[in-house]
Amino acid sequence: MKIKNILIVIFIFVGLYIVLDFRDHNTKRAIDACVAGSQKLEKPMTIQEAKEFCKKKISAKDK
């Protein structure tokens, strides 16, 4: 019974670590997609300008 409880606690900590480690993965992918899309505009931005623009737009959408 005691080993079972220890394994459950370890599993919970590993699960929390994985969830917290990958939670901004979708945000990074959205920013990369936005930067790639901004290069197809009539007046393309530099990569830094596009990254800042996309970060502002995506973070405003999250709130």
Within-domain flag for 6 = no
Is the pTM of the predicted complex or chain greater than 0.75? no
d(Cα 10, Cα 29) in Å, to the nearest integer?
Answer: 30
Q: Using alpha carbons, select from 50, 48, 30 the residue that is nearest to residue 40.
A: 50
Residue 61: which domain range?
24-63
Number of domains in the chain: 1
- 49 is a domain residue: yes
Looking at the domain assignment, is residue 19 inside a domain? no
pLDDT of residue 7: 93
pLDDT value at position 63? Answer: 56
User: What does the pLDDT profile of the chain (63 residues) look like in tens digits?
Assistant: 799 999 999 999 999 998 888 877 778 888 888 888 887 777 777 888 888 888 888 777 655
Task: Please report the pLDDT score of residue 5 as a whole number.
Answer: 92
